[in-house]
Amino acid sequence: MDCYNCGATLNRKTRSAEHILPRSIGGKRIAYNLLCKSCNEQFGRTIDNELASRLTRFYTLLNSGEPVLPATNVSGNRKDGKIALHEKFIARVKKNRSFAGSKDYFRAIAKICLNYYLSKGYPKQYCETIKAFIRSGTPDNIFQYYAPESVSIHQLSENEVSHVLHIHGNKQSGLLYAYIELFNMQNLIFIFSMEYDERDIDVTWCRDVITNADLTKDVQLHLTREQLEHPGMSSADMEERLFPRFERLLRIIQGR
């Protein structure tokens, strides 16, 4: 096996323990056949750190009641300073009605999707575009927020908070894409390929953030080529539709 980022041969000395979902947001599942130690550490310092700076707070609030923020953000690591910074962050999201971060944030989410896909042993030749995006942030037209108005993608129980990963590949349409939900409020589509020509894939993994248990999900998502190439709504408008999901997460946190 080779590192999917740099191509280095993975052996006992070079392989690393890569979390499919980052540990900072509750990820437990590990794969040793994805990244070498050097690439894992590089991504950890950069794009994974960017994702953690925005999302770790919600995992720790759900599980310990106190936001965990990067130590560099708080002088002396004081609890009241952490809370003040967290409240400032939440106020900014509410004001802008947008959670979107830098491109590094989306690169980290793309890496989660690729990790899951490759950990299942699916064909590697359809991953070049998303690998390029993870490395450099280009091309930037392979992802968008996704929040259909009248379609239920899966059933969400009343106080459930979970991460959802779904891979869809269809030989007839040639489409291969991932759908991901983080805390059920950062919901995105990442396109792997428009020329998929292998066996059909419809596989889902769901992790409950509060109980740390895997959940069974029946994800109903069958997008067409037209919907992927020409979305009827911008990614920003789709994100606006997701804002009630963000408010729902805050209510669940406040009720714990």
* pLDDT tens figures, 2-13: 999 999 999 999
* CB hemisphere CA count around 77 (13 angstroms): 3
Helices (H), 64-159: 79-96, 103-119, 128-136
Q: What is the pLDDT confidence band of residue 103, given thresholds at 50, 70 and 90? A: very high
Quickly tell me which residue has 């070498």 as its tokens. 36
| Mean local confidence (pLDDT), 107-121 | 98
* pLDDT tens figures, 71-87: 444 444 455 667 788 88
pLDDT recorded at residue 64: 79
pLDDT recorded at residue 240: 93
Q: What is the pLDDT confidence band of residue 99, given thresholds at 50, 70 and 90? A: confident
Q: What is the pTM of this model?
A: 0.93
* pLDDT tens figures, 172-211: 999 999 999 999 999 999 999 999 999 999 999 999 999 9
Helix (H) or strand (E) holding 56: helix 47-63
pLDDT recorded at residue 73: 47
Would you state the structure tokens that stand for residue 21, as one six-digit string? 């979902």
